[in-house]
């Protein structure tokens, strides 16, 4: 970790599906697995509900990183919602790069209801990664003011 970034506490948005990753976060809680407080969790029924615009909206509202959590392939409560999430995610990464937001700020993870430990690990890793990337306002998109950051 860069020493200069020590004071930077990234804001991370987690959008988790109701059946797997949200439950993994519940399990991590019940098992008292601590992880950085930087993540704020929003629940949707399926990761397939994550509208690409939620991602832009999240970044616009100050998220330095966004973590989408869904069920493992083949395990989706809605049969195949997570495959659609994966397709969108891959496209979104390209779009983010195009407009000048570091694509690493968006991450998709499959975390099942029993994987409290994986949730803890992923949140820890992702927080550190975003910390090393620095605030999103440093990204080209925000510097060039392509997206209006302040309302």
Partner 1 sequence: MNKIRGDGEIRVGVYVCHCGTNIAGRVNIKEVVEFASKLPYVVVAREYKYMCSDPGQELIKNDIKELKLNRIVVASCSPHLHEHTFRKACEDAGLNPFNFQMANIREHVSWVTKDSKEATEKAKAMVRAAVYRVVFHESLERKSQEIHPDVLVIGGGIAGISASLVLADAGKKVYLVEREPSIGGHMAKFDKTFPTLDCASCILTPKMTQVKDHPNIELFTYSEVEEVDGYVGNFTVKIRKRARYVDIEKCVGCYECIEACVYKEGKFPDEFNEGLSKRKPIYIPFPQAVPLAAVIDPATCIQFLSGKCKRTCQQACERGAIDFNMRDEIVEVKVGAIIVATGFKTFDPSRIPQYGYDRYPNVYTALEVERLVNSSGPTGGEIILRDGRRPQSVGIIHCVGSRDKNYNIWCSRVCCMYSLKLAHLIKERTNAEVYCFYIDMRTPGKGYEEFYHKLMEEGVHFIRGKVAEVTDWAVTPEEEGKLIIRVEDTLIGVVRRIPVDMVVLAVGLEPRTDADEIRRLLNISCSKEGWFLERHPKLAPVATFTDGIFIAGACQGPKDIPDTVAQAEAAAAQALALIDRKRIELEPNTAWIDEEKCSGCHICIGLCPYSAISYNEEKKIAVINEALCKGCGVCVAACPSKAAQQRLFLDEQLYAEIEGALL
Provide the minimum distance between the beta carbon of 87 and partner 1 in the complex, in angstroms, as a whole number: 10
Number of residues that bind partner 1 (CB under 8 A): 49
Where do we find the tokens 């570091």?
102
Please give the structure tokens belonging to residue 49. 């509900």
Stretch of residues binding partner 1 (CB under 8 A), selected from 73-81, 91-99, 101-109, 139-147: 73-81
CA gap 101, 99 in Å, rounded: 6
- Give the DSSP H/E element, type plus range, for residue 55: helix 52-60
Q: Is 45 in the site for partner 1 (CB under 8 A)?
A: yes
Going by the DSSP 8-state scheme, the letter that residue 71 receives in this structure is P
Q: Is 147 in the site for partner 1 (CB under 8 A)?
A: no
Nearer to partner 1, 22 or 126 (CB): 22
CA gap 88, 36 in Å, rounded: 27
The sign one gets for the Cα dihedral 92, 69, 62, 9 is negative
Which positions lie near partner 1, rule CB under 8 A? 11, 13, 15, 19-20, 22-23, 25-26, 28-30, 32-35, 37, 40-46, 48-52, 54, 57-58, 61-63, 74-75, 77-81, 84, 88, 112-115, 120
């Amino acid at each position: 970790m860069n020493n200069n970034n020590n004071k930077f506490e990234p804001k991370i948005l987690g959008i988790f599906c109701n059946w797997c990753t949200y439950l993994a976060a519940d399990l991590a809680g019940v098992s008292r697995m601590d992880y950085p407080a930087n993540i704020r969790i929003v629940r949707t029924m399926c990761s397939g509900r994550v509208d690409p615009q939620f991602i832009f909206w999240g970044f616009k509202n100050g998220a330095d990183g966004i973590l989408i959590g869904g069920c493992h392939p083949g395990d989706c409560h809605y049969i195949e919602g997570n495959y659609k999430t994966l397709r969108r995610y891959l496209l979104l990464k390209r779009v983010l790069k195009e407009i000048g937001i570091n694509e690493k700020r968006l991450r998709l993870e499959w975390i099942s209801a029993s994987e409290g430990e994986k949730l803890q690990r992923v949140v820890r890793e992702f927080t550190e990664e975003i910390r090393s990337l620095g605030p999103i306002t440093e990204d080209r998109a925000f510097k060039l003011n392509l997206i209006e950051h302040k309302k």
